[in-house]
Structure 1
Amino acid sequence: MGKGFFISKTVAAICVVAAIGAAATIIALSVVYDQEKSKNLDAPVTTAEPGTTTQPTTPSTPKQPWQLYRLPDSLSPVSYNVTLRPQLKPNNDGLYIFSGHSTVVFTCVKETDLILIHSNKLNFTMFEGHHAVLRGVDGASAPSLKTSWLEVPTQYLVIQLSSPLQAGSTYELFTEFVGELADDLGGFYRSEYEDDGVKKVVATTQMQPTDARKAFPCFDEPAMKAVFHVTLIHPHETVALSNSMNYVYQYHSLIIGDATRGTSFEPTEIMSTYLLAFIVCDFGYVHSDPGAEILIRVWARRKAIEEGQGAYALEKTGPILSFFEKYYNISYPLQKSDQIALPDFSAGAMENWGLITYRETALLYNPTVSSNGDKERVATIISHELAHMWFGNLVTTRWWNDLWLNEGFATYVSYLGANYAEPNWNMKELIVLNEIFDVLAVDALTSSHPLSSKEEDIMKPEDINALFDTITYNKGAAVLRMLSSFITEDVFSKGLHTYLEEFKYKNTVYQDLWKHLQMAVDETGIWLPHSVEAIMNRWILQMGFPVVTIDTKTGNVIQKHFLLDSDSGVNRPSDFNYEWFVPITWIKNGAAEDQFWLLDKEATNSNMTLGADDWLVANIDMNGFYRVNYDSENWERLLAKLGTQHKDIPMINRAQIIDDAFNLARAKMIDTTLALRTTEFLKEEVEYIPWQTAIRNLDYFYLMFDRSEVYGPMQAYINNQVEPLFKYFETLTDHWTKIPDNHTDQYNQVIAISWACKTGVPGCKELTTTWFKEWMQNPDNNRISANLRSTVYCNAIAEGGVVEWDFAWSMYKNATIASEANKLLRALSCTKEPWLLNRYLEYCLDPEMIRKQDASATIVYIASNPVGQSLAWDFIRAKWDLIFNDYSGGFSFGRLIDGVTRRFSSEFEYKQLLQFKEDNTDQLGSAAASLEQALERTKTNMDWVVLNKQPVLDWFTSQIPPKDY
């Protein structure tokens, strides 16, 4: 087991003395900052210092190295010694700043007279007219600096030398700098919260993917691994944390001038810049047993820790770490695992090695207030981040084009880790619902993209940020799950072990993983029709997936690239002609048959021919990343089986039949009425995954038709289907007084109440409004079940007016538990009053009202309300310049565009999207791909509505007598 690096107390004392000297230097930097007040740190500060030059960039001249976004391969970092001092109080200009200095030791790999090192929004101290000081190491002679400047577009500190650095020699570069501790949620930033009415400030980090350069100058690429020595100077009453342990277990306290202290940390393992983290706060923590081999600590606001909100995370972190040690067959490489919940954090969590950062909702759990969904979120996100400690941190992909391998893998195995920690939750089944169904819908668009891109296509920070999407995470998880299924989980795990052992502390490309999985396949003798690489390259190097059509009359099996808009063409070329090697598993009359590989566009399997009373369902448990269509006779047999003995079909496959049918109908491959018929059996279904799958697909009908005459009959039909489920849970919970024992039953109870209220099942609205009114009468005693709060709040606010809304808003502002605040934040969007929704939208861009991290999600919540959709669209169009420039760190622009345009289905809305694209061509950033997807989806929706409105209306009407609507 990796224990980190220990030093003696004597050496520690020497380091502390060095920290005092460093602190004195840093304090002096605040004077430098005061001298540079004229530079507004609210604006980008990577402009050149007075007296230096910014090199001109003209299209006619050849690209200079500093005009390229990738570092040259001439220098390789060895180690950094970084000392930083964040100011947790504003200066005279109202700005929060940090000051610091850094020494990077690097080796010259190829002779060069140019040093390029990343720097963004940092102001530098000048040394004899230059931004840095260069020294030789181990006898090397350092050339003098010729000129230096900051290249803003590519985010470099550029240093030209009077003579070349010598290959094989080692040098060190020293810089002093000042930056803003802004609230932009990137780099070294600040998070704020209130504790008993007192404002508190946390200095924290989010480096991934390209923001370490905002904290200190560095070679900010994942392949540029190094060792980091970190010292933080911070207020005496605070604690400092970083990736490694502090030198003497307890942090070392040094009074330095104005009641500050220095904390130094052991050298990190060799790692990438994006995994570095350092935090200054006055949080509390809970920890594992002192004698444990790995120190586990969960940090959060003191009040949250005192209330026990970190206990569940602490309880599950140890078992999940143990699971991954066994799964990878490699010991955890560090001495400790710190996990910290931050009030302001843009992502869900970040896998910084040894110091994982989380949103509060992703780490904290209070059993009296948090729902089972909150609990599952904590378990799966902890598992996701801990999976990265080996896969991603110990072994890191060479460049961001293979981000899918890192994030897709962690997404997949997070369900294995969570399943180990909570064996009664059926997490291995929930991955299908939570991850795979969603991404199948996205990957069926012509604007989708392959999992793996070429390195040269991913250069700019905005290119990299755009990769953090559903394809990367969900499809990555789906294809790795498929691979693990057809080579077996055991073989998959063996291949991972040798892969991690060979490349630990190094960088890889995806082919390295295929090689090691192939070695494991060969060792165990598993038969495959082609190599792992040949099979998997078809799934990762071309976008999309196939629909497999099985003709049970002839046994003929055909594959075809599945597109929701089957009339559209794909502009993206594919070396594989959009054909895949497809592992087909199937059940015939309830019995599983041998796996069949579809290796060409078409093949025949006589075992798939059926007699008159036979039925067949393919893709067992949705292990394969494809959809399945059948001949009409088998569809009818499956519908008959669902209508009489639905449990004969495995539960996940019942959900798959629904999801496949609705999506095949949208692609015009089967009739929409056939898809609707797959929901008829739900009157007898009580399992969560089929119900949730049906609801998600029927929700599309609401998006398209809730403003049309289809709405009434549709409501009546779904009312008829959900009423038995509502009564089932009323009985199961003894008239809503008990919580179901089963994890997924707790989810399905929420569906029963939510959709019973939505469609007007008698007694439902009265139930939810009564619970809410009781709470309003006694705000200190909320007796609504934690699992039901989201749906109760939403329905009560929708039925109520300003009084209910203002009450919920006050409860949100006073909430001390993040998961409860999040439920209220979402429920507030349910009001039917346009003026309240408009007021709520304005709150979204006021950080005093709604945190930046929650703003984009809140706008999407509002857009999901039929009353709020057009309001939200008008709002983001009017405010786009402000959103794009002031909220870049806290907004997921892609999800924002996606969420606000989901209802679009008219020519007018399509033209509005085109106009928005034209008006904002230069400031779309990571939203560009989502905007293209929105345009494609809108066009598809338009065609679908024209084709299906009348048949859908006729079908719903035929199901319900006119008097019922």
Structure 2
Amino acid sequence: MAAGFYISRVLAIVGTLVSVVALVSIIALSVLYAQEKTKNAPSPTADTTTTSSSPTPTQGPLEPWQHYRLPDTLAPFSYNITLWPRLQPDQDGLFIFTGNSTVQFVCVKDTDLIIIHANKLNFTLFKGHEARVLALHRADPAPGVLKTWVEKETQYLVLQLDGRLKAGWSYELFTDFVGELADDLGGFYRSKYEENGQEKFLATTQMQPTDARKAFPCFDEPAMKAVFHLTLIHPRETVALSNAINYEPINITINGQNLTETRFHPTELMSTYLLAFVVCEFDYIRSPVNAPVLIRIWARKQAIKEGQGDYALAKTGPILSFFEKYYSSPYPLKKSDQIALPDFSAGAMENWGLITYRETALLYNPAFSSNGDKEWVATVISHELAHMWFGNLVTMRWWNDLWLNEGFATYVSYLGANSAEPTWNISDLIVVNEVHGVMGVDALSTSHPLSAREEDILQPSHISRLFDSITYSKGAAVLRMLSNFITEGVFTEGLRTYLDTYKFNNTIYKDLWKHLQVAVDKASPALGLPEPVEDIMNRWVLQMGYPVVTVDTRTGRISQKHFLLDPEAVVDRPSSYNYEWIVPITWIKTGITQKPLWLTTKEATNINMTLSGEDWLLVNLKTSGFYRVNYDQGNWERLLAKLDNNHQDIPEINRAQLISDAFNLARAKLVNTTLALRTTKFLVNERSYMPWLTASRNLNYYILMFDRSAVYGPMQAYMVKQVTPLFLYYEDLTKNWTMIPEKHSDQYNQVMAILLACRNGLKACEDLTSDWFTAWMNNPANNTIFPNLRSAVYCNAIAAGGQREWDFAWKMYKNASIASEAEKLLSAMACSRQPWILTRYLQYCLDSNKVRKQDATGVINSIAANTLGQPLAWDFVRANWNYLFNDYGRGAISFSSVLHSVSSRFSTDFELKQLLHFQEEVGSNMVGQGFQRVLEQTQANIKWVSSQQDQILSWFTEEASRP
């Protein structure tokens, strides 16, 4: 999955005039999936021999159906499923689907129970339609069904038999059922859109991680792979899609309704969470007839007509070819359908052969979409296609290894996108998009290891918590580090044998280490690893956090210790594994690359790292290792002098790294805060994107802490001094803003220049953006603002304006047929400085006809990023928590993300007390695990502000006054 709970790319990059959020946040950092309360759904019923739900004992051993993991008695191998979604409401106003399923399974151990997942399904148990069990290929009949019930807590349909199933025998279970085709964005659900003034509905799916059971009874665990035979019944004006290619549809009539029946070829052996099916009125474009793989891009008919799918079609083939070479394995399927959905909680989902996307993650229109939108499409497609092998062909045995699945796809998505767009240099952007951000999360005492124990991940809520930035971004970072120190060629050779050995099967992460070790052992020349691959990687996978490596260039002493943003935080490691990291040290000395080293103990000495004269030393080249670096004061001074006098002698990625390391070391009180601030002084001469992005992100923390204090004025004055040369540079490069820069990174940095200049009050920037927006308002049919600049322009113009500007943006948003354009407007409207407008906008988040459920989190977060909007968003979340939690649910709202956003400015004891009171009011279970991070961050903010404010005020005041 590209992103489990998806925060839109535009919502992530605009923020407000007082808060610059990361410009290229490709993979969202907050990912949550959980069960959502289905509105108006009738309670499941059982047959006449039992009640609808069995009692749960308060003591004594648990019954098999009271465990969250399936018993090891049955193993499915085939499903035959028929589903009929109703795309119009019934007489009670409900959208439903009906269906039946036959699952064939082998009995592994004798048992008199069939326990199979089912959630929010009603089973038809009138005569002739009760659940039936049949023995396959045996003369002896199967036992009869004695009683059935639904176990709501563990989400099972339980069948008590009047005899025992025999080990080694195969059986099948038939069930009829009814479910609600809700708008909850999980399982089998409905989506709505408007076309030619007509409201239309479609039915689609999102099964990961535990929602296949909402569509049909199934053994809903990743290791329970099976072949799926699917039939969909649907209106004749619609088309049906699934993982496999369909047979020729036939027209049928049921109860006087003229319908179509579409059957699909059997799938490959696969997990339930990868199953997908869609019924819609979409159109498509496809690859040439003679192409080796059938590639189709599906979307709303208007979007296809406008060519919005052309870019995705053009890049899917090359990216597939790249991965075929990368994995040394042909694409496993005959077709690759990719469909853009109007309502989708994630960025995309890697369903095998039918990948589902948000519209913004698949559709691109050069007249409206920015270069960031284009990159997002390329990287998300690459992420999902990477999964076709790593995750789908070979699948984790259980969700505790989700990090390997998603971390790997995140890492190689940059390689695949880089192959499709080689001039963009995307492979380097992984550092600022993934590594820097997740280092902030992993430096908290409330972080967690990449890999959990299988027995600790049982309930759906446990699984949902794993979809976070540690899983995606840290997973990508440590795999990138591994690939770097064993070399990419050895890494891909290990992948090749791993995929070939385990195809159509399930694995644990250690299986990959074994195959990589074999490749390492065969490598020539020998790689000289200090320990086996598994022992090295265990240090990074089984324990949370990462080290700060300290280099003393006076003595050559290097050392490591666990890096924490709050040095006083108490670490309660959720793992018994507690060792020093085995750290790959890459370094340069006065511009010359040195032989890599390994730090395997707490400290060591390398005489080659001593310096004399004007020599300087830099560790962690291209930020290939997942660690921070500190130096003695003398080397810091030499590095700062190099940045001030000839910054290009230090690679761009490492210029960004120095800023990131210095600011975070300062927050951890390992270096002086003024040293960190001094790393921004060279920016007056910097024209490259990554250092500017990194500086803006780290200074954004200062904005959050001080934009309501006396520090903010001098800070703005300093930033105007620093950014004005960059603003003028792009004004000149683009011939007074009439051209688009040629380089991909320059296009990003042009936006950065405008955002920072306008946010800090540069009048030339404020006038420029307001004039552009006013010209558009005067001629709504002719928007001449370059797509790259629209997010920044819209935000600044709406902030400078009033109701007229906001209402115009709202009108344009409601009329937008391009998803990326709608997203830009949706975010920019949060930049208003009118409290009543922001309050009204928050209320719109409770009405899915105004703000789609998938967009509610992003809107709330964007308003919270606004200095004026933050208290309004905090009040809104508290007042509406129960409604958001129960009626929107975690399928649509990322509560961890929302809580982080509304509390990101909290830095006083009073605000901490508000958080604790809120937790007491709603209960710990409802606020979730992420709330502890919010508390930790607030406590750290309080201590940091009280100790640093005077020093920071003094520094900015002095620097702003310099000529």
TM over 0.5: yes
Check whether the contact 2:497–2:515 (CA below 8 A) recurs between aligned residues: yes
1:131-146 aligned at under 5 Å gives the runs: 131-139=130-138, 141-146=141-146
Pair 46,608 (structure 1): closer, same or farther in 2 beyond 3 Å: farther
TM-fit CA distance, 1:874: 0.9
Task: String of CA shifts for 1:172-208, please: whole Å, max 9, x gaps.
Answer: 0000001000000000000000001101101000000
**Quick one: distance in 2 between partners of 1:576 and 1:244?**
43
**Quick one: distance in 1 between partners of 2:932 and 2:592?**
44
TM-fit CA distance, 1:469: 0.3
**Quick one: distance in 2 between partners of 1:50 and 1:743?**
67
1:899 is the counterpart of 2:901: yes
Q: Which residue matches 1:918?
A: 920
TM-fit CA distance, 1:255: 5.1
**Quick one: distance in 2 between partners of 1:172 and 1:334?**
27
Check whether the contact 2:38–2:184 (CA below 8 A) recurs between aligned residues: no
TM-fit CA distance, 1:762: 3.3
**Quick one: distance in 2 between partners of 1:899 and 1:482?**
30
Q: Which residue matches 1:645?
A: 646
1:451-600 aligned at under 5 Å gives the runs: 451-524=450-523, 525-572=526-573, 574-600=575-601
Q: Which residue matches 2:757?
A: 756
Check whether the contact 1:103–1:173 (CA below 8 A) recurs between aligned residues: yes
Once the two structures are overlaid, the 10-residue window that deviates more, 377-386 or 880-889, is: 880-889
Q: How many residues align?
A: 921
Q: Which residue matches 2:159?
A: 159
Pair 335,579 (structure 1): closer, same or farther in 2 beyond 3 Å: same
Structure 2: state its 5+ residue gaps. 1-36
Q: Which residue matches 2:265?
A: 266
**Quick one: distance in 2 between partners of 1:376 and 1:711?**
34
Q: Which residue matches 1:7?
A: none
**Quick one: distance in 2 between partners of 1:398 and 1:577?**
25
TM-fit CA distance, 1:52: 2.5
Q: Which residue matches 2:307?
A: 308
Task: String of CA shifts for 1:230-269, please: whole Å, max 9, x gaps.
Answer: 0000000100000000124xx4444554120100000000
Task: String of CA shifts for 1:677-725, please: whole Å, max 9, x gaps.
Answer: 0000000000000000000000100000000000110000000000000
Q: Which residue matches 2:64?
A: 65
Task: String of CA shifts for 1:483-514, please: whole Å, max 9, x gaps.
Answer: 00000011100100100000000000000000
TM-fit CA distance, 1:50: 6.3
1:91-170 aligned at under 5 Å gives the runs: 91-126=90-125, 131-139=130-138, 141-170=141-170
Q: Which residue matches 1:872?
A: 873
Q: What is the DSSP-based 3-state SS (H/G/I as helix, E as strand, rest coil) of the residue aligned with 2:671?
A: coil
TM-fit CA distance, 1:914: 1.3
TM-fit CA distance, 1:961: 2.1
Pair 746,41 (structure 1): closer, same or farther in 2 beyond 3 Å: closer
Q: Which residue matches 2:798?
A: 797
TM-fit CA distance, 1:936: 0.3
Q: Which residue matches 2:739?
A: 738
Q: What is the DSSP-based 3-state SS (H/G/I as helix, E as strand, rest coil) of the residue aligned with 1:565?
A: coil
TM-fit CA distance, 1:929: 2.1
Q: Which residue matches 2:333?
A: 334
Q: Which residue matches 2:378?
A: 379
1:87 is the counterpart of 2:89: no
Check whether the contact 2:129–2:176 (CA below 8 A) recurs between aligned residues: no
Check whether the contact 2:297–2:309 (CA below 8 A) recurs between aligned residues: yes
Q: Which residue matches 2:634?
A: 633
Q: What is the DSSP-based 3-state SS (H/G/I as helix, E as strand, rest coil) of the residue aligned with 2:114?
A: strand
Check whether the contact 2:212–2:272 (CA below 8 A) recurs between aligned residues: yes
**Quick one: distance in 2 between partners of 1:555 and 1:829?**
51
Q: What is the DSSP-based 3-state SS (H/G/I as helix, E as strand, rest coil) of the residue aligned with 1:393?
A: coil
TM-fit CA distance, 1:758: 1.0
Identity of matched residues, %: 64
Q: What is the DSSP-based 3-state SS (H/G/I as helix, E as strand, rest coil) of the residue aligned with 2:929?
A: helix
TM-fit CA distance, 1:615: 0.3
Pair 592,131 (structure 1): closer, same or farther in 2 beyond 3 Å: farther
Q: Which residue matches 1:779?
A: 780
**Quick one: distance in 2 between partners of 1:558 and 1:949?**
31
Check whether the contact 1:844–1:855 (CA below 8 A) recurs between aligned residues: yes
TM-fit CA distance, 1:46: 3.7
**Quick one: distance in 1 between partners of 2:635 and 2:779?**
57
1:809-848 aligned at under 5 Å gives the runs: 809-848=810-849
Q: Which residue matches 2:31?
A: none
**Quick one: distance in 2 between partners of 1:164 and 1:647?**
75
**Quick one: distance in 2 between partners of 1:886 and 1:275?**
26
Which one-letter code corresponds to 1:466 in the other structure?
Answer: R
Q: What is the DSSP-based 3-state SS (H/G/I as helix, E as strand, rest coil) of the residue aligned with 2:345?
A: coil
Which one-letter code corresponds to 1:870 in the other structure?
Answer: P
**Quick one: distance in 2 between partners of 1:368 and 1:41?**
40
Check whether the contact 2:129–2:175 (CA below 8 A) recurs between aligned residues: no
Check whether the contact 2:47–2:147 (CA below 8 A) recurs between aligned residues: no
Q: Which residue matches 1:181?
A: 181
Once the two structures are overlaid, the 10-residue window that deviates more, 120-129 or 467-476, is: 120-129
Check whether the contact 1:84–1:100 (CA below 8 A) recurs between aligned residues: yes
**Quick one: distance in 1 between partners of 2:130 and 2:588?**
69
Which one-letter code corresponds to 1:767 in the other structure?
Answer: L
Check whether the contact 2:230–2:264 (CA below 8 A) recurs between aligned residues: yes
Q: Which residue matches 1:42?
A: 40
Q: Which residue matches 2:227?
A: 227
TM-fit CA distance, 1:45: 3.3
Check whether the contact 1:149–1:157 (CA below 8 A) recurs between aligned residues: yes
Q: What is the DSSP-based 3-state SS (H/G/I as helix, E as strand, rest coil) of the residue aligned with 2:257?
A: coil
Task: String of CA shifts for 1:915-937, please: whole Å, max 9, x gaps.
Answer: 2222222652xx52211100000
**Quick one: distance in 2 between partners of 1:937 and 1:664?**
16
Q: What is the DSSP-based 3-state SS (H/G/I as helix, E as strand, rest coil) of the residue aligned with 2:150?
A: strand
1:408-419 aligned at under 5 Å gives the runs: 408-419=407-418
Which one-letter code corresponds to 2:103 in the other structure?
Answer: V
1:171 is the counterpart of 2:171: yes
1:426-445 aligned at under 5 Å gives the runs: 426-445=425-444
**Quick one: distance in 2 between partners of 1:780 and 1:129?**
61
**Quick one: distance in 2 between partners of 1:141 and 1:498?**
44
Check whether the contact 1:41–1:179 (CA below 8 A) recurs between aligned residues: no
TM-fit CA distance, 1:61: 2.9
Check whether the contact 1:236–1:255 (CA below 8 A) recurs between aligned residues: no
Pair 748,923 (structure 1): closer, same or farther in 2 beyond 3 Å: same
Q: Which residue matches 1:747?
A: 748
**Quick one: distance in 2 between partners of 1:887 and 1:514?**
41
Check whether the contact 1:304–1:310 (CA below 8 A) recurs between aligned residues: yes
TM-fit CA distance, 1:857: 1.0
**Quick one: distance in 2 between partners of 1:512 and 1:254?**
49
Q: What is the DSSP-based 3-state SS (H/G/I as helix, E as strand, rest coil) of the residue aligned with 2:222?
A: coil
Q: What is the DSSP-based 3-state SS (H/G/I as helix, E as strand, rest coil) of the residue aligned with 1:763?
A: helix
TM-fit CA distance, 1:946: 0.5
Task: String of CA shifts for 1:31-59, please: whole Å, max 9, x gaps.
Answer: xxxxxxxx996246345466622221121
Check whether the contact 2:240–2:262 (CA below 8 A) recurs between aligned residues: yes
Check whether the contact 1:127–1:133 (CA below 8 A) recurs between aligned residues: no
Q: Which residue matches 1:956?
A: 956
**Quick one: distance in 1 between partners of 2:419 and 2:706?**
43
Over the residues paired in the alignment, what is the CA RMSD in angstroms? 1.4
TM-fit CA distance, 1:526: 2.1
**Quick one: distance in 2 between partners of 1:221 and 1:40?**
22
**Quick one: distance in 2 between partners of 1:42 and 1:587?**
64
**Quick one: distance in 1 between partners of 2:198 and 2:918?**
42
Check whether the contact 1:130–1:145 (CA below 8 A) recurs between aligned residues: no
Check whether the contact 2:719–2:760 (CA below 8 A) recurs between aligned residues: yes
Q: What is the DSSP-based 3-state SS (H/G/I as helix, E as strand, rest coil) of the residue aligned with 1:848?
A: coil
TM-fit CA distance, 1:577: 2.9
**Quick one: distance in 2 between partners of 1:204 and 1:43?**
19
Check whether the contact 1:207–1:273 (CA below 8 A) recurs between aligned residues: yes
**Quick one: distance in 2 between partners of 1:259 and 1:722?**
65
TM-score normalised to the size of structure 2? 0.94
